[in-house]
Each structure stands twice: as C-alpha cells, then as structure tokens.
C-alpha cells in the first residue's frame, strides 16, 4: 500500500512539473525579447526535466531547485501590471465611459469609424445618449474568420428611437503589435471595451475584413435587456478606471459576456449552465438555443442560414442611416 501511495504521488508531481514547465516556458518565450526568449524557455524546460529526474530517482534537490526557480518566475509574473498608458492602435486608442442620469445613458468615446479597408478609414469618436425606457431587445453577432470553432462575439442593444448600441470585448493592441492566441495566455495584451455604431463595428467585419458574420436576435425582454445593458455600464466604467489583462481562455469576448449575463441571470430566474461552447464560441448559437435564449421553434440550421448577413451588408453603404434595419431584414425575430 505504501509503494502504491508513493507511485501515485510521483505521478501527480510529474504532471505538476510538466504543467509548470510548459507554462513557465511559454511565459518566458512570449515575455522576453528576441533570441533571449527561446534560450530562457529551453533552459526552464531543462530545469523542469531535471525536476522530473529527481522525482523518479528520489533526489529531492532537483525538484526543490525547480520549485525555487518557478517561485521566482511567479514573482516576476506578478510584477507585470496592465496599463491604459501605451501607444495604442487608433481604433482602440480610447475607452468608452458611460454616465447615467435617470433613464438616460451618455456614452462618451463611442466609435463610429468609416472603414474602406482595415488600413484605410475615417476616425470618428462621438458622444451619444440613449434612453433606457426605449430599449427593445438584445441581438448578438458572431463573426467567423477561421473555421466554425471560434467566432468573435458582439452584443447589440436595440432601441425604438435610434440606432443600436453595440459592445465588443477586444484585445487592446499597441502599434506594431501582432495578435497571438498563445501570447494571450501570458499577460501580453490588455483588454478593451469598444462601444460603437453597427456601421462601424459590424461593417469592419463584413465589409473590410470579409468575415462570415451572423446575426441572432435574443429572446431577452426589454426589461432583461435593460438589466444586461446596465451590467455593461458598470463593467465598462470599471475597466476605464482600472486596466485589466486580456486572457485567451478566461477573459475574452465570450467569457466576459458570460460573466455579465451571470450577474443578472438570477433576477431573471434564468439558468446559465457552464458549457464548452462558451469557450468554443463558434458554437455559441447552439448553446443559446438550448437554454432558450434563441427561438426554439426554428431548427438551428435554418436560424443560422437566415442569420448570415455578410453578403447583404456588403451591398450597403456604411454611411446608410438604415444600415442596421436593412441587415436585419429576413433575420428571424426574437419571438414567433
């Protein structure tokens, strides 16, 4: 029995060392400059290998040495702090803030760019007011650029008297910085909210990037939509006051929204189960239909077919004031 216990313990320690070596090597590779990054990552991996040898040869000095090295790396990790003060790319240069006075929301730094291509655009930042008593519902856009597994999520609040207000959770890139999903695990990017006109944020994906963008109308009532919008207001302002890191797995365009919905779901008496489709965001529509957030009287394949708006959007001018209404033509309503 004693031998079995020590065998299981060694196996657990082996998995622990492998995990920490992989994480530490990745952190060094993505956070150190130039050739030093690869050398340091390999060196840390070799230290982890030495720790494994120590586990199975009962030489405790080797795993203890690796543990000390890992603790030092964690100390360095904790020294990385997010910031709002960097040389950001123009479309993420400003963060929105939202003031509330009664039922009126005033959104500052609302983005309303006009995109001719990803590199050619007119910059426009605005202040707009929205009346919470005029909110009619909530729609989502899922925009696909590399297969069906992953999509970018946009959440859009509709109003009876004006164009929708759309939010996106973004990686806040600096000028000259490229995105890497792996680097996003290692405090490489800050998170940003974008509050925007649909002609900007949807048009960027349909017309400039030529992504496969799909529009789904949620079954959320005006009251539920109001609750969710106010949850956005609180988090948008919190982020503007205190920067935070983007994380590819834990703090991304879907998990942030999942958390926001979770803060108001108890008031709706609405179940929000954990599901892999929250992470594999390309399949989010199936999850939403399963929990009743999308119409269940229309098969998902048909909903998805009618949700595709990219071809339609590309026939429209992004200066068209009826852009939002026109892309919704033919998309199933929120309720029968």
Structure tokens at 317: 């001018």
Neighbouring CB atoms inside 10 A of 134's CB total 13
pLDDT tens, residue by residue, 200-239: 999 999 999 999 999 999 999 999 999 999 999 999 999 9
> pTM of this prediction?
0.92
CA distance 323 to 313: 8
The reported pLDDT for the residue numbered 5 is 76
269: left (phi over 0), alpha (psi -120 to 50) or beta: left
Most confidently predicted of 26-35, 40-49, 88-97, 174-183: 88-97
pLDDT at 33 over 90: no
| Residue found by looking up tokens 């200066």 in the block | 319
Question: What pLDDT is attached to residue 269?
Answer: 65
* SS3 (DSSP) at 212: strand
Per residue in 73-129, pLDDT (tens digit) is: 999 999 999 999 999 999 999 999 999 999 999 999 999 999 999 999 999 999 999
Place of tokens 């622990």: 16
Instruction: Say if residues 334 and 218 touch (Cβ distance below 8 Å).
Output: yes
Dist. CA 20–CA 10, nearest whole Å: 15
Tokens of 165: 């207000």
In the prediction, which pLDDT does 187 show?
A: 92
Question: How many Cβ atoms sit within 10 Å of the Cβ of residue 28?
Answer: 22
Query: How high is the mean pLDDT of the chain?
Result: 93
Cα-Cα-Cα-Cα dihedral of 262, 250, 176, 124, to 10°? 0
pLDDT at 109: 98
* % of the chain exceeding 70 in pLDDT: 99
Query: Is the per-residue pLDDT at 54 higher than 90?
Result: no
How long, in residues, is the chain?
Answer: 336
Of 186, 135, 241, nearest in space to 22 by CA: 186
Residue 32 DSSP SS3: coil
pLDDT of residue 270: 72
Give the per-residue pLDDT at 41: 92
- Angle of helix 255-268 versus helix 222-241 axis, rounded to 10: 130
Closest of 289, 126, 320, 332 to residue 206, by C-alpha: 320
101 class by beta-carbon count within 10 Å (0-12 exposed, 13-18 middle, 19+ buried) = exposed
Strand ranges inside the chain, DSSP E? 97-101, 104-111, 114-115, 121-122, 125-131, 135-144, 151-159, 165-172, 190-196, 212-217
């Amino acid at each position: 029995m004693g031998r079995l216990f020590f065998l299981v313990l060694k196996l657990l320690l082996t998995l622990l060392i492998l995990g920490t070596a992989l994480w530490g090597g990745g952190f060094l590779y993505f956070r150190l400059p130039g050739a030093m990054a690869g050398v340091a990552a390999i060196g840390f991996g070799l230290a982890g290998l030495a720790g494994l040898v120590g586990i199975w040869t009962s030489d405790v000095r080797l795993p203890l040495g690796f543990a000390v090295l890992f603790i030092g790396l964690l100390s360095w990790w904790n020294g990385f702090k997010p910031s709002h003060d960097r040389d950001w790319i123009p479309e993420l240069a400003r963060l929105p803030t939202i003031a509330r006075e009664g039922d009126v929301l005033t959104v500052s730094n609302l983005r309303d760019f006009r995109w001719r291509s990803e590199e050619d655009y007119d910059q426009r930042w605005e202040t707009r007011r929205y009346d919470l008593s005029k909110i009619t519902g909530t729609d989502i856009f899922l925009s696909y650029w590399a297969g069906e597994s992953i999509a970018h999520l946009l959440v859009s609040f509709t109003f009876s008297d004006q164009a929708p207000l759309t939010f996106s959770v973004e990686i806040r890139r600096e000028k000259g910085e490229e995105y890497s999903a792996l680097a996003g695990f290692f405090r490489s990017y800050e998170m940003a909210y974008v509050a925007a006109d649909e002609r900007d944020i949807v048009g960027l994906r349909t017309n400039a990037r030529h992504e496969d963008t799909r529009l789904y109308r949620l079954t959320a009532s005006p009251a539920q939509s109001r609750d969710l919008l106010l949850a956005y207001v609180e988090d948008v302002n919190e982020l503007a006051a205190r920067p935070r890191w983007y994380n590819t797995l834990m703090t991304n365009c879907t998990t942030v929204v999942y958390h926001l919905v979770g803060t108001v779901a108890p008031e709706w008496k609405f179940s929000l189960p954990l599901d892999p489709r929250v992470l594999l965001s390309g399949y989010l529509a199936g999850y939403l239909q399963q929990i009743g957030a999308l119409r269940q009287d229309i098969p998902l394949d048909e909903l998805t077919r009618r949700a595709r708006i990219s071809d339609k959007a590309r026939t429209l001018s992004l200066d068209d004031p009826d852009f939002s209404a026109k892309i919704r033509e033919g998309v199933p309503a929120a309720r029968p």
